[in-house]
Structure 1
Amino acid sequence: MSSGIEVRQAHFPGRAPIEAYGNGGFRFAGMSHRGSLLCLPSGIYGWEATETAPFSGKRLLKVFEEADSFKFFLFGTGLELRRLPKPLVERFRSLGLSCDAMSTGAAVRTLNVMLSEERPVAAALVAIE
């Protein structure tokens, strides 16, 4: 018997600065989201990555699908800065993209500045508790 409830992947169809982060999620556009985020030119998407697995999640493939719509990619890896895996760095380089890893807090601040300057930026933000 079907409950009639449709479960959808989280998606906000637009760009928005991150208003707050912590407690396992983010606030943006007057809404809150629990979990990690991908902030792309096509919108803001929920993402499966965690602090213990910051580079995982099949949705990360969406970043590469939109690679022609941004030049800078910020990777917020949680509370601590973590090095990006070499194959991931090489994939970004092969597409001519700048990719910088930093703590999630630093990535949020940098993303917000770059959005306010209307720069071609995207980000992967790992939620922190």
Structure 2
Amino acid sequence: MRLNEIVFNDAKPVEGYGPGFFRIGGQVIQGAVITAPSGTRTWGGFDDIPALEALAAHTDVIFIGTGSEIAHLPTGLREQLEKAGVGVEAMASPAAARTYNVLLSEGRRVALAMLPI
């Protein structure tokens, strides 16, 4: 078996999560979070559409973690992101974190916004 080291460049993978927090690139963040190659910061949730739209120029798809359970995104949020030309996929936050990490390791142009579990 051959093991290859993954180089994430400027993007930081999700290393862990728990009740109310995420650990990304060695940093613990309380509450909702956005992470992309441009950086990691807190997120205002579904109403914070401008923060997600700002990722559109450098992102093909944004994974949105809806917390511990999968939930539908508000229609306005999905419409605004699609209008900005970025794909959006909603899933439970643990699944969104795993999917983001895999695609990030492949060098894809992805971003992640998650609500805590």
Letter of the aligned partner of 2:87 in structure 1?
S
1:96 & 1:30 partners in 2: Cα distance?
31
What stretches of structure 2 of length at least 5 have no aligned partner? 1-9
The number of aligned residues is 108
Q: Is the 8 A contact 2:93 2:115 kept in 1?
A: yes
The alignment-based identity, stated in percent, is: 37
1:26 & 1:76 partners in 2: Cα distance?
12
Residue of structure 1 equivalent to 2:88: 99
1:27 & 1:104 partners in 2: Cα distance?
13
Residue of structure 1 equivalent to 2:99: 110
Shift of 1:18: 0.5
Q: Summarize deviations over 1:54-100 as a string: whole Å, max 9, x none.
A: x13x4x41221231111011000001111111111111221222111
If you compute each CA radius of gyration, which structure gives the higher value, 1 or 2? 1
Residue of structure 1 equivalent to 2:74: 85
Q: Is the 8 A contact 1:72 1:122 kept in 2?
A: yes
Letter of the aligned partner of 1:126 in structure 2?
L
Residue of structure 2 equivalent to 1:27: 23
Q: Is the 8 A contact 1:69 1:120 kept in 2?
A: yes
Q: Report whether the alignment pairs 1:68 with 2:57.
A: yes
1:48 & 1:89 partners in 2: Cα distance?
16
What stretches of structure 1 of length at least 5 have no aligned partner? 1-13, 50-54
2:40 & 2:106 partners in 1: Cα distance?
18
Match of 2:12 among 13, 16, 31: 16
Q: TM-score, normalised by structure 1?
A: 0.77
